[in-house]
Amino acid sequence: MMIQHKKINPIHFFLLVLMACGQRNGSNTDNFHDNVRDQSASDPKVENICFAYLGEKDTVRLQIDQKADGKVKGVLVYKLFEKDLNSGSFEGEMSGDTLIAEYSFAAEGKRSKREVAFLFRDNLVLEGYGPVKEEDGVFRFETPNELEFGQGIQLLRINCEGGG
């Protein structure tokens, strides 16, 4: 009798490892929101928090570098299949568990600005979508309080080290 070994899909294996790296031992709470609330302007130490989406041909990386007084800064990179690399920085504010920020990025050889929105749930981040309008060269959400989350990209928390 011959034992058959099933092949492990490398993408599924990598996602499983990625999910395991984002888990915390002994706690199911979300320290991201605690960090935002507890961070003060007098505390120069800022923890980097990273999230990523890894599809078969797409990747998205969100790195939050600074949090103080509800203000959030960071880096956001989209590498979507058959589209130009979209990479830049953002600055915005947390309102409860939602970040709305202005994203300044380079794509297709030019600089652009648009609003982005992310909903934070434990170790998961959901990108928000909704109608936009252009104001002074920036594409902004028409009604930020009516954004839809969970319909598109979902990012998992990852270790920031080595993933720059």
- Per-residue model confidence (pLDDT) at position 46: 58
CA 111: distance to chain centroid?
20
For residues 129 and 60, what is the distance between their CA atoms, to the nearest angstrom? 16
pLDDT band at residue 77 using 50, 70 and 90 as cut-offs: very high
For residues 41 and 164, what is the distance between their CA atoms, to the nearest angstrom? 26
12-65 pLDDT, tens digit each: 333 333 333 443 343 433 444 444 333 333 344 556 899 999 988 899 999 998
Helix, strand, or coil (residue 21): helix
The answer to whether 79 and 58 have CB atoms below 8 angstroms apart is yes
For residues 69 and 46, what is the distance between their CA atoms, to the nearest angstrom? 12
**Greater model confidence, 4 or 92:** 92
Rg of the chain (C-alpha set): 18
For residues 100 and 26, what is the distance between their CA atoms, to the nearest angstrom? 30
Q: What are phi and psi of 130, to 5 degrees?
A: 180, 170
The answer to whether 118 and 124 have CB atoms below 8 angstroms apart is no
87-122 pLDDT, tens digit each: 999 999 988 899 999 999 998 888 999 999 999 998
